[in-house]
Structure 1
Amino acid sequence: MNEAISRETARVVLVDPADRVLLYRGRLLQVESRPYAWFTPGGGVDPGESARQAAARELREEIGHVVAPEALGPVVATSAGGWSLDGQRFHSHDSFFVLRVDGLEVDTSGMDAEERASTDRFRWWSVPELTAGLGGEQVVPTGLGLVVARAVAGDVPAAPVVLPWHLTDAGQQVGTIQAP
């Protein structure tokens, strides 16, 4: 297999007035027993882009929500690890921002063909649902519910919380979210 490509990503935890977070269900690479997981909107940081700029661009492309990069606060969490696609290995470093939104309607018309093919639904989830593990469904990254619970409470960490990666080196899924 090829050497892993390093990939910086910027992801956004969108919180609505009811303190729910928007996640999409997408294909979980490398895990045949559970091919899908729930993710926050976001994606790769392009050359010359800051993480905030990438997060704002990804929101526009993936869900049709336009926001200025400056509207995103500090990075509240990170997660890093490996995955593969079509024989190519990647090592991602995910940075998570929190953004409160009002009346957001998801518009996927800006998604590319690959994103459309790997995403099958969006849903708003409550903090108790996230921390309970969404009825056994995988949430990426593991522990996201605890970060959302802190954000909803107005507790912005002084330094980003480091969340575990969701796959082992062998590509196997690791634990689901545990209630506090």
Structure 2
Amino acid sequence: MTPELPRDLPVLERRAVRVVVLDVVERVLLFHTRDPDHPRLGTWWELPGGGLDPGETYLDAAVRELREETGIVVGPADVGAPTWRRRASFIHRQSRHLQDEVVVTVRLPGRGPDVDDAERLDYEVEDYFGFRWWPVAEVVTARPRCYPGRLPELLPAFLAGEEIDEPFELWS
């Protein structure tokens, strides 16, 4: 069940995937993000990912989004099961997103590479102004402001293989 949404912007409802990319030394990739249309939101750290295109599965979208946003190329077999499920809403540019999301893992065989943003969409180039490979333990203890909002709290259980059905999050 979704609580009533703010009536601030047109609603874009979609399915989406977020990817917890882990390197061999247990660091997770997060983008430092902002929304130029809404500076009052400040900045936050965000998992790679995005909406599913028509006809796409979450596997297809995870592979595509990871390549487009980071330059990291993986195949569908490299994507973990969607054991974290959530519904969330946030404002982005001139719409309110209402998303049914799954969160999956991709484990890289080596250390996390630098991000290649050559395939990013124009708004992603503006929104993502940095990235960092965060040690998982530091995400948990430092509790940076993240999207998903409960990432620092839920990350250990998710990485341990627990099924997570997160309640609705009105992020912004």
Question: TM-score scaled by structure 1?
Answer: 0.79
Higher relative contact order (CA 8 A, sep 6+): 2
Pair 29,141 (structure 1): closer, same or farther in 2 beyond 3 Å: farther
Pair 163,59 (structure 1): closer, same or farther in 2 beyond 3 Å: farther
Q: How does 1:62-73 map to 2 (within 5 A)?
A: 62-73=69-80
Letter in 2 for 1:120: F
Residue 160 of structure 1 pairs with residue 169 of structure 2: no
Matched residue of 2:146: which SS?
A: coil
Q: Distance in 1 between matches of 2:148 and 2:93?
A: 22
Q: Aligned residue for 1:98?
A: 105
Q: Aligned residue for 1:58?
A: 65
Pair 42,164 (structure 1): closer, same or farther in 2 beyond 3 Å: same
Aligned length: 163
- Consecutive unaligned residues of structure 2, counting only runs of 5 or more, are 1-7
Q: Which runs of 4+ in 1 moved over 6 A?
A: none
What is the percentage of aligned positions where both structures have the same residue? 28
Pair 4,22 (structure 1): closer, same or farther in 2 beyond 3 Å: same
Letter in 2 for 1:156: G
Pair 3,62 (structure 1): closer, same or farther in 2 beyond 3 Å: closer
Q: Aligned residue for 1:177?
A: none
Letter in 2 for 1:104: G
Q: Distance in 2 between matches of 1:45 and 1:18?
A: 30
Residue 139 of structure 1 pairs with residue 146 of structure 2: yes
1:21-71 Cα deviation digits (max 9, x unpaired): 110011158865442110111111000000111000001101011111122
Q: Aligned residue for 2:52?
A: 45
Q: Distance in 2 between matches of 1:146 and 1:85?
A: 24
Q: How does 1:29-44 map to 2 (within 5 A)?
A: 32-44=39-51
Q: Aligned residue for 2:4?
A: none
Q: Aligned residue for 1:176?
A: none
Residue 123 of structure 1 pairs with residue 132 of structure 2: yes
Q: Distance in 2 between matches of 1:70 and 1:9?
A: 19
Letter in 1 for 2:169: W
- Consecutive unaligned residues of structure 1, counting only runs of 5 or more, are 172-180
Give the one of 118, 130, 151 matched to 1:109: 118
Q: Distance in 2 between matches of 1:98 and 1:87?
A: 30
Question: TM-score scaled by structure 2?
Answer: 0.82
